[in-house]
Amino acid sequence: MKVTIVDYSSGNISSVINSFKEVAQNKATIEVTSDLSKIKSSDKIVLPGQGSFKSCVDALKKINGLNDTLNEFVIANKKPLLGICVGLQMFADVGYEETETKGLGWISGKVSKIDNQNGKFKLPHIGWNQINILKDSRIFKEVENNSHMYFVHSYEFLPKDNKVISAITDYSTKVVCSVEKENIFGTQFHPEKSDKNGLKIISNFINL
């Protein structure tokens, strides 16, 4: 089985690569590429994302044909994809970081700045926070509810349909920190930086 981490120059993804390789061992081949034919032939895709919503969307667009290839993989062929951090946020129709920017539109909703209640809560939200698992998501198999995960973000994904939300975390408000819709999975937290629980989530995704 081949799992491809999409490399579209969205910041340092070395910890994502190292974690997937550590977990995969002989269960899967981990490839890191922006080559469209290699992405198409993958069994699963990981879409990381660091920086702003706009910078990540722009970086995807810079690689000719990448958006179409991802759409075909996810929407037409219904193969599993895991979005991490801004990788998850880009599932939305639109994001409002820097300027209004169109997202991939895979899960209807928007990405807005976290309401920090007039400075009561620091932004970006950095550090460990408990997650409240709301539904029996396949990527949370054997992960205990209220486990701590590692976050770095100032913006949150607000989906139109609450049924796609698989976990939330309390930070100023109830922030969506994980979604699942058919073959599409996303985490706002960084599983690759979330110790054993994060590695378990990566393992669950590889084993889907």
Q: Any idea which residues carry the catalytic annotation?
A: 85, 190, 192
Q: How far apart are CA 160 and CA 75, in angstroms?
A: 18
Q: How far is CA 163 from CA 104, 179, 180, in A?
A: 19, 9, 9
Q: How far apart are CA 190 and CA 198, in angstroms?
A: 7
* b/e 41-67 (16+ beta carbons within 10 angstroms → b): ebebbbbbbbebbbbbbebbeebeebe
| 112 contacts 158 by C-beta, under 8 angstroms | yes
